[in-house]
Structure 1
Amino acid sequence: MRVFTVDSFTDKPFRGNPAGVCLLDDPVPDEWMQAVAAEMRHSETAFVTDGGQGPYGLRWFTPAVEVALCGHATLATAHVLYSLGARGRLEFATKSGVLATEQAGDDLIAMDFPAAPPEKTEAPDGLAEALGVTPVWVGRSRFDVLAEVESADVVRGLRPDVERLTAVDARGVIVTAPGDGSADFVSRFFAPRVGVPEDPVTGSAHCVLSPYWSGRLGRDALVGAQVSERGGTVRTTLRGDRVELAGHAVTVWSGELQV
Structure 2
Amino acid sequence: MKLLYWGELGLLYYVVDAFTETKFGGNPAGVVIHENLDKEFMQKFAAEVRFSETAFIKKIDNKNFEIKFFTPTSQVELCGHATIASFKALLDSHAIEDNNTYFIRTLAGTLSVEMNQSIIMMEQAEPKLGKIFDDYDYLSDLFKIDKNQIGDFNLVPQAASTGLWDIMLPIKTKDALYALNPDFKELAEYTKINLVGGVHAFTLDTKEGISESRNFCPRYGIDEEAATGTSNGALTYYLFNNHVLNKFNQDYSFLQGYSMGRPSKIVTKLINKNNPRVMVGGKAIIITKGKLY
Cα distance in 2, alignment partners of residues 97 and 21 from structure 1: 20
Match of 2:279 among 237, 244, 247: 244
Instruction: Answer whether contact 2:160 2:238 (CA < 8 A) is retained.
Output: no
Matched position secondary structure for 1:73? helix
2:284 is matched by which residue type in structure 1? A
2:212 is matched by which residue type in structure 1? V
Cα distance in 2, alignment partners of residues 172 and 191 from structure 1: 4
Match of 1:139 among 155, 158, 167: 158
Q: CA deviation at 1:207?
A: 1.9
Instruction: Answer whether contact 1:78 1:90 (CA < 8 A) is retained.
Output: no
Report the TM-score when normalising by structure 1.
Answer: 0.92
Q: CA deviation at 1:206?
A: 1.3
Cα distance in 2, alignment partners of residues 228 and 5 from structure 1: 22
Q: Does 1:100 align with 2:112?
A: yes
Match of 1:182 among 205, 208, 211: 208
Q: CA deviation at 1:249?
A: 0.1
**Matched length:** 256
Q: Show CA shifts across 1:184-242 (max 9, x none).
A: 11111100001111011000101211112233243343211013411201111111432
1:35 is matched by which residue type in structure 2? K
Cα distance in 1, alignment partners of residues 62 and 114 from structure 2: 17
Q: CA deviation at 1:99?
A: 1.7
Cα distance in 1, alignment partners of residues 83 and 134 from structure 2: 31
**1:4 matched residue in structure 2:** 14
Q: Does 1:197 align with 2:209?
A: no
Q: Show CA shifts across 1:90-138 (max 9, x none).
A: 2111101112212224x32111112534346134684321212332121
Matched position secondary structure for 2:40? helix
Q: Does 1:23 align with 2:53?
A: no
Q: How does 1:55-134 map to 2 (within 5 A)?
A: 55-85=64-94, 86-87=96-97, 88-105=100-117, 107-119=118-130, 121-123=132-134, 126-133=138-145, 134=147
Report the TM-score when normalising by structure 2.
Answer: 0.82
Matched position secondary structure for 2:228? coil
Cα distance in 2, alignment partners of residues 122 and 203 from structure 1: 22
Cα distance in 1, alignment partners of residues 269 and 68 from structure 2: 24
Structure 1 gaps, min length 5 = none
Q: CA deviation at 1:52?
A: 2.1
